[in-house]
Amino acid sequence: MYFQFTEEQEMIRQAARDFAQTELKPGVIERDEHQTFPAEQVKMLGELGFLGMMVSPDYGGAGMDAISYVLVMEELSKIDASTSVVVSVNNSLVCYGLEKYGSEAQKQKYLVPLAKGEKIGAFCLSEPEAGSDATSQRTTAIDMGDHYLLNGVKNWITNGNSASTYLVIAQTDASKRHHGINALIVERGMEGFTVGHKENKLGIRGSDTHSLMFTDVKVPKENRIGEDGFGFKFAMNTLDGGRIGIASQALGIASGAYELAMAYAKERRAFGKTIADLQATQFKLADMATEIEAARLLCLKAAWLKDKGLPYAQASSMAKLYASEVAMRTTVEAVQIHGGYGFVKEYHVERLMRDAKITQIYEGTSEIQRIVISREVLR
């Protein structure tokens, strides 16, 4: 690994930082409080090329590398994790999955508008009884010859009500277990497809998380991604990249909380000095800085491996596991350093603390990451 960013990577990071400060920070508290989806901000991110960052320019993308993606996710997540998760899902799960495994026709029809930011995508795996256990899909896609008949319910779907293109994982032949699962491209507006209620969440409240219902939805055979039975492998391979995005989101949340705690500690006075002069505060800040830097290096290593075309499943799981736990510890300490003010919305750290928790849950819980990592190291 080379530890100095290129001039282009630095420019991309600065662009994301400027956007976060000028476009995301104003109104972020209100969007959180009222659960308002950042539609205008997402549209602008699409115009900047941040919704199809790693997609080839041949398909409307920006052609950036995974390291640049980590830098962008960190900067956006420092300010607004509800917006950064839209960037993460569209890039890591939807665009990546289509570009890597989709047919040329699928790429032209679906990937191009997604990469250009003209449309938003959603990745539909989780169900009421099939979250971490992805083999237990209750959503079915029955082979009807020239189409699949899709029935079932998906839960916790990010961009659920904002997306136009949905990648849906469904069971075609339960007797084959994970070999009987397919990945289908479903379009908003298909007959029988309805968006359910919006979840009232602890954190990332600006992100629109919905349940989706499919009732005899006719999905053309040409909308299947890959060969028959490829769906489980598609989901698992796609999630490996998704974990880099969520690890970077966790990193950004932690980094944002740390910067706020540092600034507050330098201003707040107690016992005749700033609280930054107190050793108890200094120890907290030292631990926060060290853990954040370690999380950052794990994220960058996973991205570097991905850019080099090397196996990165273990690295992305390590990054996601560690960064999410650092995000939780750092935000709790940031609230503590702020004292009573940390409990007040206008100081931002209580929101970052609430946002941090989800990074330990989605794209596979911390326990699931430990299973993935232990499987790799014991292999």
Whether 293 is catalytic is no
Contact 97, 234 (CB under 8 A): yes
- Token look-up 């409080």 returns 33
- DSSP letter string, 334-366: HHHHHGGGGGSGGGSHHHHHHHHHHTTTTTS-H
**Bridge partners for 194 per DSSP:** 213
> Would you say the C-alpha torsion 139, 144, 147, 149 has a positive or negative sign?
negative
Burial of 297 (0-12, 13-18, 19+ CB in 10 A): middle
**Hey, what amino acid is at 76?**
L
Which of 10, 199, 363, 367 is flagged as catalytic? 363
CA distances from 17 to 147, 182, 211 (A): 45, 39, 32
Provide the phi-psi class of 272: left if phi over 0, else alpha when psi is between -120 and 50, else beta: left
Q: What is the dihedral of CA 148, 152, 155, 159, to 10 degrees?
A: 40
List active site positions.
363
